[in-house]
Amino acid sequence: MTPILELSEVTKSFGAVTVADAQSWSLAPGEALGVLGPNGAGKTSMFNLVTGTLSADGGTIRYDGHDITNWSAARRCRAGIARSFQVPQPFSGMTVFENTLVAATQGANLSGAQADALCLEVLDRTGLLGRANTLAGGLTLLDRKRLELARALCARPKVLLLDEIAGGLTENECKSLIETIKQIRETGVSIVWIEHVVHALLAVVDRLIVIDFGKLIAQGAPDEIMQSQEVREIYLGIEGDA
């Protein structure tokens, strides 16, 4: 099956810091892929490379049959790549509904009643309908995370990139978010999810990749990856047997 998203030998450095070291991996249509790696490994930078807010020094990024390596971030978004941010970044002086409307009009290119309908449907799916007229700046952390998700969904993505969306939530909040993400999956959206809350990731993803110093160090089925000695040492800080 042709991947919906494919990185081939993608490289990026900031001076001496390499955030993507000849990274190659792909995402199948409808797949949910989890991304693990220690702090500073280059995971968010990889999302920036995929969404086009960072340009690669080398390599190729393909999406839905196109070489998008030189496409602008806006073009990638309109083509169906949307993301959430690790630190929620709503327009805090606008209501929840208005925030989603920006995504529906600018990302999904809808207007009028069609844009309104998409926003209301997404707000319902993400549990925010009751907050539609609340200013985004006054939301709780869970609702700000939900708004990140809602804004990304209002761009009508084929590929959804989630950056540590479960971080900082209580166990119950996390559970409810997992259910929402599972439901999004069922609609056929392909997902790449960076997450340190490993049990949340394992509840949803089909496959894991592990990044360290910008390099892909492992990929495979979640159980295999979680059992891998290299991953346990690098990521979980568990010493190998002497």
Ligand X SMILES: Nc1ncnc2c1ncn2[C@@H]1O[C@H](COP(=O)(O)OP(=O)(O)OP(=O)(O)O)[C@@H](O)[C@H]1O
Minimum distance from CB of 18 to ligand X (Å)?
9
**Dihedrals phi, psi of 36, to nearest 5 degrees:** -115, 160
Q: Which is nearer to ligand X, 128 or 161 (CB)?
A: 161
CB of 208 to ligand X, least distance (A): 15
Name the packing angle between helices 141-153 and 112-125 (round to 10°).
Answer: 140
**Residues sharing a CB contact under 8 Å with residue 174, sequence separation 6 or more, in sequence order:** 166, 197, 200
d(Cα 181, Cα 167) in Å, to the nearest integer?
14
Which CB, 8 or 13, lies closer to ligand X?
13
Closest approach, Cβ 200 to ligand X, in A, equals 15
Q: Which of 206, 217, 215, 211 is nearest to 181 (CA)?
A: 206
| Closest to ligand X by CB, 53 or 170 | 53
List residues binding ligand X (CB under 6 A). Answer: 14, 17, 19, 37, 39-45, 86
The CB-of-196 to ligand X minimum distance in angstroms stands at: 7
> Taking a C-beta distance cutoff of 8 angstroms, is the pair 36, 211 a contact?
yes
| CB of 63 or CB of 85, closer to ligand X | 85
Q: Which is nearer to ligand X, 40 or 130 (CB)?
A: 40
**If we measure between CA atoms, which residue out of 204, 196, 206, 189 comes closest to residue 155?**
189
- CA 236, CA 226: separation in Å to the nearest integer? 9
User: Which region holds residue 188: left if phi is over 0, alpha if psi is between -120 and 50, else beta?
Assistant: left
Q: Kindly state the smallest distance separating residue 135's Cβ from ligand X, in Å.
A: 27
